[in-house]
Amino acid sequence: MILTLAVADSVHFLVTLRHEMRDNGREKYEAIVESLRVNFQPIFLTSLTTAIGFLSMNFGDVPPFRDLGNIVAMGVMIAFILSVTLLPALMAILPVRPRPQTAKTIQAMDHLGEFVVRRRQALLWGMGSVIVLVVAFVPRNELNDDFVKYFDESFAFRRATDFVTENLTGLYDIHYSLSAGESEGISDPTFLRTVEEFVQWYQQQPEVMHVSTITDTFKRLNKNMHGDDPAYYRLPEERELAAQYLLLYEMSLPYGLDLNNQINIDKSATRVAITTKTLSSNDVLALEERAQEWLKKNGLPSMQVPGASTTIMFANIGFRNIRGMLFGATMALVLISIILIVALRSLKFGLISLIPNLAPTAMAFGLWGMLVGEVGLGLSVVAGLTIGIVVDDTIHYLSKYLRARREKGLSPEEAVRYAFRSVGLALQPSYWLLLPPLVFRCDLIPTIGHFLARKIPNSSLLRTYKIPTPKMTT
């Protein structure tokens, strides 16, 4: 990730250097100085905003994502320092012979700039309509996760978990510590009957594969104490009898074994362990919600407890993480917008920059809603992760546009053409460098790379066709 982002800084410096030497006839050292003068602020701003975007991942609840954000933020700033120190020094030492630019490349950028200038009204309304249409699919997304599916069938772990689920038992579990409300209370027939009813309800749920409970032990002991008569495979009807069964069973266990994995020390609570199929986070939370409704309606007051397990924890962490990441992305956007307003010395252009900064994320989530419709834990970090990346286009384009307006005194239309001619040649290689690593290097969570592969082209289209039109109409 750091290497991919660092290349973008170098591309802009090298493209400007080549342009100054080839088109303006400058000597190599003069071209290096001019390239640094032109690109220092944009490169610094892009590095700073990218670092802010990655630092927003600290608002999430997942430590590995925090570490990723902090490491990449540090790497991006180090890459900036090297891009404005080591890279110019190397270019000053190494021989530089820029090849002549083909007329086809020059004409492509000129034609693109001319097309945007002439069709600005149509592009303004057309791109606006496309944005609204695509963003309308955002509500189709739902927060859902299936952690086993983070790994495809090429991983031994995935093949093993599928085999366990299909042939042995389930992978996910939910545990309840059901209290009787008093010491030695688990021998109370009323409590045991309520626990048994809760277990029977869970066994009827289609997601459940197995339920482990102390009531099965009581029923088996009652049957054994009556000559293994199947008619007595039921809970004891007297509290004293249940307590005697429990004492007999504990005394019969081999040396070193006890029932502490099923009941607590004072015998006031028992554990019910539920094993389920491989479920998504929404299915896990829905099952737990139904269980809580049953306990509220049929359980004893002392049995009103939530389910607990790593399955429940990870099912909830996605919701908490996406709330934190969205808040972090909002804070990053506000801070980046303030930085752009100050750096560009223009409130108008700072506000205009919000359009191409916000729209790519919204459009990417819209496309994701159309094609997939599920936002998992990995995808919840993308908003903050990419907001600093897509703003790079805006910064480089606006900096070149304002340079043409302020230093060269060009009209808005000519400034747009100048921006396309000077920035377009650098941005297109950046996309080709960014997309392949994002798509092919996200092995553990491929949805992140695929999501970014949709978002970054959205940013390119908006930078090309949407940013210039407001500037020529205001």
149 in any annotated domain: no
> Which residue from 79, 14, 37 is spatially nearest to 426, judged by alpha carbons?
14
pLDDT single digits (tens) 276-320: 988 888 899 999 999 999 999 999 999 999 999 988 988 888 778
End position of a domain, from candidates 288, 308, 328: 308
Name the pLDDT band for 213 (thresholds 50, 70, 90).
Answer: very high
What pLDDT sits at residue 429?
58
Angle (deg, nearest 10), helices 28-55 and 63-84: 170
Q: Cα angle vertex 209, ends 151, 261, to 5°? A: 95
Same domain, 64 and 165: no
Name the pLDDT band for 410 (thresholds 50, 70, 90).
Answer: confident
Instruction: List helix spans (H) across 276-381.
Output: 281-298, 310-344, 347-352, 354-371
Residue 138 has pLDDT above 50, yes or no: yes
What pLDDT sits at residue 454?
46
Does residue 280 contact residue 272 with C-beta atoms inside 8 Å?
A: no
pLDDT single digits (tens) 20-47: 887 777 888 898 998 898 888 888 988 8
End position of a domain, from candidates 308, 333, 349: 308
Domain span at residue 277? 156-308
* pTM, to two decimals: 0.71
Residue 237 has pLDDT above 80, yes or no: yes
pLDDT single digits (tens) 117-137: 788 788 888 888 888 998 899
Q: Taking residues 380-394, what's their average pLDDT?
A: 72
146 in any annotated domain: no
233 in any annotated domain: yes
What pLDDT sits at residue 107?
63
> Which residue from 203, 205, 207, 206 is spatially nearest to 216, judged by alpha carbons?
203
Same domain, 323 and 275: no
Name the pLDDT band for 461 (thresholds 50, 70, 90).
Answer: very low
Q: Taking residues 410-437, what's their average pLDDT?
A: 68
Does residue 396 contact residue 42 with C-beta atoms inside 8 Å?
A: yes
Q: Taking residues 170-191, what's their average pLDDT?
A: 91
Residue 450 has pLDDT above 60, yes or no: no
Name the pLDDT band for 99 (thresholds 50, 70, 90).
Answer: low
Question: 278-281 — which CB contacts under 8 Å span 24+ positions?
Answer: 278/146, 278/148, 278/161, 278/162, 278/165, 278/170, 278/171, 278/172, 279/146, 279/172, 279/207, 279/311, 280/144, 280/145, 280/146, 281/143, 281/144, 281/145, 281/146, 281/314, 281/315, 281/318
Q: Taking residues 156-178, what's their average pLDDT?
A: 88
Report which residue type is found at 203: Q
End position of a domain, from candidates 281, 308, 335: 308
Q: Taking residues 234-239, what's their average pLDDT?
A: 92
> Which residue from 398, 385, 383 is spatially nearest to 352, judged by alpha carbons?
398
Q: What percent of the chain has pLDDT over 70?
A: 84
Report which residue type is found at 81: I
58 in any annotated domain: yes
Residue 444 has pLDDT above 70, yes or no: no
Compute the mean pLDDT over every residue in the chain, rounded to the nearest whole number: 81
Residue 322 has pLDDT above 80, yes or no: no
Same domain, 289 and 340: no
Same domain, 171 and 199: yes
Same domain, 304 and 328: no
Residue 55 has pLDDT above 70, yes or no: yes
Same domain, 319 and 468: yes
- Domain of 72, CATH number, reads 1.20.1640.10
Residue 87 has pLDDT above 80, yes or no: yes
17 in any annotated domain: yes
| Distance separating the N- and C-terminal Cα atoms of the chain | 38
Name the pLDDT band for 375 (thresholds 50, 70, 90).
Answer: confident
Q: What percent of the chain has pLDDT over 90?
A: 27
pLDDT single digits (tens) 198-212: 999 999 999 999 999
Report which residue type is found at 461: L
Total Cβ atoms within 10 A of residue 86? 10
Same domain, 204 and 132: no
